[in-house]
Amino acid sequence: MASSPDQKPADVNTETIEAVTGNETYGGGRDKAAQLLKDAGHSVFVTPEDNKRILRKIDLAILPIILVIYCLQSLDKTALSYASVFGLIKDTNLVGLEFSWLGAIVYVAQLVWQPCVAVLLVKLPLGKFCATMVLCWGITLCGMSAAHNFGGLMAARFVLGSFEASVAPTFIALVQMWYRRGEQTNRNAAWYSMLGVVNIFGSLLSYGLAHIQSKVLHSYQIIFLFCGCLTVAFSTIVFIFLPDSPMQARFLTADEKLIAIERLRMNQQGISSGEWRWDHVRDCLLDLKTWLWVAMLTAISIPSGGISTFGPLIVKSFGFDSFTTILFNMPFGAVQLVATIGGAIAATRYKAKSPILALLCLPPIIGISLLLNIEYAPHNRGLLLFAYYITSVYPAISPLIYSWSGQNTAGDTKRKVTTGMLFIGASAGNIIGPNLYKPSEAPHYTRGLRSNLALFCVIIVLVGLGVAWIRVLNKRHAAQRVILGKAANPKDLSMENNKTLAKEDEAVNDVHTAGGVGDKAFDDVTDLRNEDFIYVY
């Protein structure tokens, strides 16, 4: 079916057209997207062909930038663990838990700054805000190469964490702003999978940089300086090419901007309001599922913080030298990459994240159990490495939690506050995690590994509770729709892929086909207060 932004399809009634054009009856102009649609003065009917074309343009313009940014951030974070293998602890005279606190202090900073980040994400243009933060953390990492003791490293790491606090929340906001709900899981997994890429190529990079002979700089200082300069250089590209929203995107024509907005109607999450709303904050704090996701993310971040900081040291304890340890960390990254992308693809295909989340907890449970029960001896190296590698499936869990939360939260302020709370939980977990691993317990790190094992079991329980609560919420909204004369179980077009929509000749944003769902899409209403909102598992 051919279409154009000013085409009015025969099966769309007057109420649908009013909703699409941002009529005051429905939108109130609270979301900036609603105002743009109102100013356009005509309806926008998005066919599957339009949707596919615009999605391709968005992917090419947005994804490469956020992939590289997260790759750089992951490289900056893991630079500490690589540096530990190449003499950081000895050269800076670290003792006791000081190295553990160098890993944790970044997350202390992130925890402190998350409330401020949530406000800034609502009020400031996302593209320029992101570019500024990238520039500042790159400069900080360069400066960290001058630190030569625990106090200097702690100060630099705290400042680094302060600037990095905004990166992942910004990416979640960008994905929600640009993509339909059915597209979000794969995009969140794409940028998060850069952690695996870094563990592959970062290992090679560190291996090469550590071979540089210098009479002035230690190996770890060269690593810090190189990563920092790379980040500073890329911040310029971010400032120039990352748009603040679909409404300001220079790579889209005026008509394409309308399509980019309208294709998100069935998300019912809005795009950007620029207005901080305390009623959204209240809804977020009183929403049980918010706390369930915070608990899940805290539970996965504790093992993540510990293993990411002490992982190379665990491998080294198998009996390898420093350079061999770095090389053997590469398969760890490959497993992360495959698990993260594979988990997202499976969740998208089956339109369910909860069962995939539970399944992803099983390999780490098996791996940690093996690490706790196998003797650390040369003849067991192969089995120990296998246990370590299957444990590395755990990074695939976090992006699915982000997506599950993001797909089930509406209202601009509520989305940003929810994301901030998730990262407070993640930061707390990453603070606790490294401190469960005591250097005095090397090489087995029994306390840390046992705690991690228990937490993966806890995540499975929390996933079950999340599914049960979502079912309750969907039943409540279905009852409310019936009272208002709408369909009890309408089709959720936001979760349908383009192939299915094209096969059934359905528009991406047809309110009539969706049984009235979508009328409040750009009203900046929270999911709890929008009876048309359909929660996903």
Is 20 a residue whose pLDDT tops 50?
no
First to last CA, the chain: 32
Domain range summary for the chain, segments of one domain joined by +: 48-253+284-474
Q: Confidence band (pLDDT; 50, 70, 90) for 13?
A: very low
Q: What is the per-residue pLDDT for 200?
A: 80
* Minimum mean pLDDT range among 16-20, 194-198, 253-257, 343-347: 16-20
Structure tokens at 396: 């695939």
Q: What is the per-residue pLDDT for 309?
A: 64
Distance separating alpha carbons of residues 317 and 309, to the nearest angstrom: 14
Q: Confidence band (pLDDT; 50, 70, 90) for 402?
A: very high
**Crossing angle (nearest 10°) for helices 362-373 and 446-483:** 170
Mean confidence (pLDDT) of the chain = 86
Distance separating alpha carbons of residues 477 and 290, to the nearest angstrom: 18
Nearest to 265 by CA among 3, 10, 512: 512
pTM, 2 dp: 0.87
Distance separating alpha carbons of residues 31 and 14, to the nearest angstrom: 22
Is 102 a residue whose pLDDT tops 80?
yes
Rounded to 5 degrees, φ, ψ at 319 are: 110, 20
Q: What is the per-residue pLDDT for 329?
A: 73
* Minimum mean pLDDT range among 38-42, 120-124, 262-266, 393-397: 38-42
Q: Write the pLDDT tens digit of every residue in 295-340.
A: 999 999 999 877 876 777 777 777 777 777 767 777 888 899 999 9
Q: Does domain 48-253+284-474 sit in CATH 1.10.150.530?
A: no
Is 19 a residue whose pLDDT tops 50?
no
Residue with tokens 């402190």: 112
